[in-house]
Chain A
Amino acid sequence: MNIDYSQEMPVIESRISLAEIDRLISRPLDEKPDKKFLIALSITLTLLLVGVISISYLFLYGTGVWGLNQPVGWAFDITNFVFWVGIGHAGTLISAVLYLLRQKWRTGIARFAEAMTIFAVMCAGIFPIIHTGRPWLAGYLTPYPNQHGLWVNFTSPLVWDVFAVSTYFTVSLVFWYVGLIPDFGLLRDRTASKLKKTIYSIFSLGWRNSHRNWMHYEKAYMLLAGFATPLVLSVHTIVSFDFAVSIIPGWHSTIFPPYFVAGAIFSGFAMVVTVLIFVRKVFDLQHIITLNHLDKMNKIILVTGSMVGYAYAMEFFIAWYSGNPFEQFIFINRAFGPYAWAYWIMVSCNVFIPQLFWFKKVRRTIPVMLIIVILVNVGMWFERFVITVTSLHRDFLPSSWGYFVPSVFDLGTLIGSFGLFFTLVLLFTKTLPVVAISEIKAVAEGAQPSHNGGKH
Chain B
Amino acid sequence: MSERKLYGLTALFQTPDEIVHAAKKVQDSGYKKYDVHTPYPVHGMDAAMKLKPSNLGYVTLIFGLSGAAFALLFMYWAMSKDYPMIIGGKPFFALPAFIPITFEITVLLATLATVIGMLTFYFKFPNNSQPLHDTPYMKAVSSDKYGICIEADDELFDLEKVKHLFKELNGQNVSEIYFPVTEPFKIFEPKFLILLAVVALSTSAVTYLTLNKLLYITPYNWLMNQNRVNVQSKSTFYADGFGMRKPVEGTVARGFIPYEYKGLAAPVVPLSNPLLPTAQILQLGRKRFLTFCSPCHGNFGDGDSRLRGQFPNPPSLHSEKVRGWHDGNIYHVIVNGQNVMPSYSSQLSRDDRWAVIHYIRALQKAKNASPSEILEAKKETPSNAAK
Contacts and interface: CB of A to CB of B under 8 A. Distances in A.
Interface of A: 17-19, 22, 59-60, 136, 143, 149-151, 153-156, 159-160, 163-164, 167, 170-171, 174-175, 178, 182, 185-186, 189-190, 201-202, 204-220, 223-224, 227-228, 230-231, 234, 238, 241, 438-439, 441-442, 446-451, 453-454
A204 B122 CA distance: 15
B281 to A, nearest CB: 30
A101 to B, nearest CB: 18
A449 B125 CA distance: 29
23 contacts: A17-B144, A151-B78, A153-B87, A155-B87, A155-B90, A171-B107, A185-B142, A206-B127, A209-B38, A211-B36, A211-B37, A211-B45, A211-B51, A212-B49, A215-B45, A218-B54, A219-B53, A224-B111, A228-B111, A230-B103, A447-B16, A449-B42, A449-B43
B139 interface: yes
Contacts of B107: 167, 171, 227, 230-231, 234
A215 B41 contact: yes
Contacts of A201: 128
Contact of A209 (B104, B108, B115, B142): B142
Contact of B114 (A218, A224, A442, A453): A224
A227 B114 CA distance: 11
Contacts of B141: 209
A185 B123 CA distance: 14
Interface of B: 15-17, 20-21, 23, 35-46, 49, 51, 53-54, 56-57, 60, 75, 78-79, 82-83, 85, 87-88, 90, 94, 97-98, 100-101, 103-105, 107-108, 110-112, 114-115, 118-119, 122-123, 125-130, 132-133, 138-139, 141-144, 215, 219-220
Given A442-B40, A442-B41, A450 B219 contact: no
Contact of A186 (B37, B110, B142): B142
A163 B100 contact: yes
Contacts of A234: 100, 103-104, 107
Contacts of B20: 449
Contacts, number: 201
A190 B41 contact: no
A40 to B, nearest CB: 30
Nearest to A157: B100
B144 A154 contact: no
B100 A241 contact: yes
Chain A to chain B: the 3 pairs with minimum beta-carbon distance, closest first = A18-B144, A155-B97, A442-B40
B41 A160 contact: no
A57 B101 CA distance: 35
